C-alpha cells in the first residue's frame, strides 16, 4: 500500500494538465473570477486524486519489477527534483505563484537567476523529474502514463503562460533575450545564442 500511495504523488500531478488547460483556455473568465479559479484548481487536484484513489485497484495493476540500481537512480532523481522545485518556488514567491499578476495585470520583474537560469519553468521541470523518479522507484505504468500526460501538458501550457507573462513584464523585450539563452523545461541542450 505504501508504494501505491507514493506512486499516487506522481500520478496526481497529471491533474495540472487538466486545470491548466481549463485555466488558460478560459483565462478571460478566470481573470474576472479569481476565487472561482482557485477553487477550480484545487477542486481538479482533489477530484483527480480522489478518482485515482477510488480506482487504484485498476490503476495500480500494471507494475514492472525495477532493478535496485534503477530504484537508486530514482531516489537521486527524486532528491534533485524536490530540491530544485523547492528552490524555484522560494525564488518565485507565493504572490507570483498564485497567478496574482495575471489577475491584476500588475507589472513584474523577470526572474532569470538561480533555478530560472537553468530552465524557464523550473517548477514544472521539477514536477516532470519527480514523476520520472517515482516511475523508477515504483515501476507503476500509471505513473508513466501520468508522466506523458503532464509532460505534453507542460509543453502546451508553458507556451500559454509565457504569452500571458510577456504582457505583465516590466520589460517585455527581456523575455526574448531570456528565451534565446535558457531552455523551457529540459536543461540540455542549451539554445544557441
Q: What is the per-residue DSSP string for 146-165?
A: HHHHHHHHHHHHHHHHHHHH
**pLDDT value, residue 193:** 59
Contacts 24+ apart (CB under 8 A), 105-114: 105/167, 105/168, 106/168, 107/168, 107/169, 107/170, 108/168, 108/169, 108/170, 109/169, 109/170, 110/169, 110/170, 110/171, 110/174, 110/175, 110/178, 112/174, 112/178, 112/182, 114/87, 114/88
Give pLDDT, residue 100: 82
- Average confidence (pLDDT) per 10 residues, the chain, 193 residues: 87 92 92 92 93 85 94 97 96 82 82 94 96 96 95 93 88 90 88 64
Q: What is the pTM of this model?
A: 0.89
Structure-block grid coordinates of residue 155: 509543453
Structural domain boundaries in the chain:
2-181
CA distances for 145 relative to 8, 43, 54, 62, 125, angstroms = 12, 21, 18, 11, 17
Among 130, 107, 117, 121, smallest CA distance to 160 is for 121
According to the model, what pLDDT value does residue 191 have? 66
* 17 within 8 A of 131, measured Cβ to Cβ: no
Query: What is the pLDDT, as a whole number, of residue 4?
Result: 87
How far apart are the C-alpha atoms of 94 and 147, rounded to whole Å?
25
What pLDDT is stored for residue 172 in this prediction? 87
Amino acid at each position: 500500500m505504501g508504494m501505491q500511495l507514493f506512486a499516487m504523488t506522481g500520478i496526481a500531478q497529471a491533474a495540472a494538465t487538466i486545470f491548466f488547460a481549463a485555466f488558460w483556455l478560459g483565462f478571460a473568465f478566470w481573470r474576472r473570477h479569481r476565487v472561482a479559479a482557485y477553487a477550480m484548481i484545487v477542486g481538479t487536484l482533489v477530484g483527480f486524486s480522489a478518482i485515482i484513489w477510488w480506482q487504484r485497484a485498476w490503476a495500480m495493476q500494471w507494475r514492472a519489477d525495477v532493478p535496485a540500481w534503477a530504484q537508486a537512480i530514482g531516489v537521486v532523481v527524486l532528491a534533485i527534483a524536490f530540491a530544485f522545485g523547492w528552490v524555484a518556488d522560494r525564488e518565485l514567491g507565493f504572490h507570483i505563484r498564485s497567478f496574482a499578476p495575471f489577475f491584476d495585470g500588475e507589472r513584474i520583474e523577470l526572474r532569470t537567476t538561480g533555478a530560472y537560469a537553468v530552465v524557464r519553468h523550473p517548477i514544472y521541470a521539477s514536477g516532470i523529474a519527480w514523476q520520472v523518479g517515482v516511475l523508477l522507484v515504483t515501476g507503476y505504468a500509471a505513473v508513466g502514463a501520468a508522466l506523458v500526460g503532464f509532460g505534453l501538458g507542460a509543453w502546451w501550457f508553458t507556451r500559454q503562460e509565457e504569452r500571458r507573462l510577456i504582457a505583465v513584464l516590466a520589460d517585455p523585450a527581456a523575455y526574448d533575450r531570456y528565451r534565446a539563452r535558457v531552455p523551457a523545461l529540459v536543461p540540455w541542450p542549451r539554445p544557441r545564442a
